[in-house]
Amino acid sequence: MKLETIIFIIGIVLVITFAVADSQEPINRLEEESSAEEGITRETIIEDCKNLSLTGTAYCLRDNVKKIYNYTKTSDSINLTFSQLVEQGGDCRNYAFLYSDLAGQLNFENNTFHIPKHRFAVISKDGDFCIINLLRVECFI
């Protein structure tokens, strides 16, 4: 075999090895996130997110809710408790109300806004605000 062919084959093997290793990483991350669900309460989220800036709080809330997030269409006539939201999942309305309530507990101004077929939360302080829309955060400072 020519040297170029051997180098080419080694290169292909390395690329395949790294591709397989990278494809395993999300699986491991998901397993860690699944086990992190246990023990998450409103109180642990509030404790984790207190004393942060507006932007830090918005992302902290999102990161904590992401661990329990399970989008499930829910009737707007039902107000889920935190435990029900963790067990059953919820939709944009449920998560918007959760973000708004948690932000209020952390002394941020908060509200939810409804547009046709959707609801999202806005948290603010001193004229700056962050929109938290399911698992997306957009801050305007």
pLDDT one-digit tens code per residue, 2-49: 555 555 455 444 334 333 333 333 333 233 333 345 689 999 999 999
Please say whether the beta carbons of 93 and 74 come within 8 A: yes
Task: Determine the Cα–Cα distance for residues 116 and 137; give it in Å rounded to an integer.
Answer: 20
Distances from the Cα of 115 to the Cαs of 17, 21, 65, 76, 106, in angstroms? 47, 43, 22, 14, 26
Task: Determine the Cα–Cα distance for residues 96 and 121; give it in Å rounded to an integer.
Answer: 5
pLDDT one-digit tens code per residue, 64-120: 999 999 999 999 999 999 999 999 999 999 999 999 999 999 999 999 999 999 999
Maximum separation of any 2 CA atoms in the chain, in Å: 72
Q: pTM here? A: 0.74
Q: Does domain 39-140 have CATH number 1.10.357.10?
A: no
Residue type, 45: I
